[in-house]
Structure 1
Amino acid sequence: MNAITIYRIANFLYRKNIPILPLVLKYFVFLIFNSVVPYTCQIGKKSKFAYGGIGVVLHGQSIIGDKVIIGQNVTVGRQLDPKGVPSIGNNVYISAGSRILGGINIGSNVIIGANSVVINDVPDNCIVAGVPAKVIRSVDQDIYELLKNIY
Structure 2
Amino acid sequence: MDAYKIYIKSRKHYLKGNLFFAKLYLKMNRIINNSYIPYTAEIGKESIFGYGGIGVVLHPDCKIGKNCTIGQNCTIGGRTGHGGPPIIGDNVYIGPGARLLGSFRIGNNVIIGANAVVISEVPNNCIVAGVPAKIIRTDVSKFQNENII
Whether TM exceeds 0.5 here: the answer is yes
User: Which residue in 1 is equivalent to 2:13?
Assistant: 13
2:28 corresponds to which residue? 28
Q: 1:30 to 1:108 in 2, by over 3 A?
A: same
Q: Paired residue for 1:88?
A: 88
One-letter amino acid of the structure 2 residue matched with residue 24 of structure 1: L
Q: 1:3 corresponds to which residue?
A: 3
**Aligned-pair distance for 1:142?**
6.9
Instruction: Indicate yes or no: 2:126 matched with 1:126.
Output: yes
How big is the shift at 1:139?
Answer: 1.4
Q: Distance in 2 between matches of 1:36 and 1:78?
A: 14
Percent of aligned positions that are identical:
50
CA deviation after TM superposition for structure 1 residue 84, in Å: 2.3
| Alpha-carbon shift at residue 132 of structure 1 (Å) | 0.5
When residues 10 and 76 of structure 1 are mapped into structure 2, their CA distance, relative to the original with a 3 A threshold, is same
* Cα offset, 1:98, TM superposition: 0.2
Q: How does 1:12-91 map to 2 (within 5 A)?
A: 12-81=12-81, 83-91=83-91
Q: CA offsets, 1:89-140, max 9 Å, x none?
A: 0000000000000001000000000000000000000100000001000115
Number of aligned pairs? 149
Match of 1:57, as an amino acid?
V
Measured on the aligned residues, the alpha-carbon RMSD in Å equals 1.5
Unaligned runs of 5+ in 1: none
Q: Which moved more, 1:98-107 or 1:81-90?
A: 81-90
Gaps of 5+ in 2: none
Displaced runs of 4 or more, over 2 A? 81-84, 142-145, 148-151
- The DSSP-based 3-state class of the residue aligned with 2:132 is coil
Alpha-carbon distance in structure 2 between the residues aligned to 1:64 and 1:38: 12
Give secondary structure in 2 for the equivalent of 1:76: strand
* CA apart distance, 1:150: 5.2
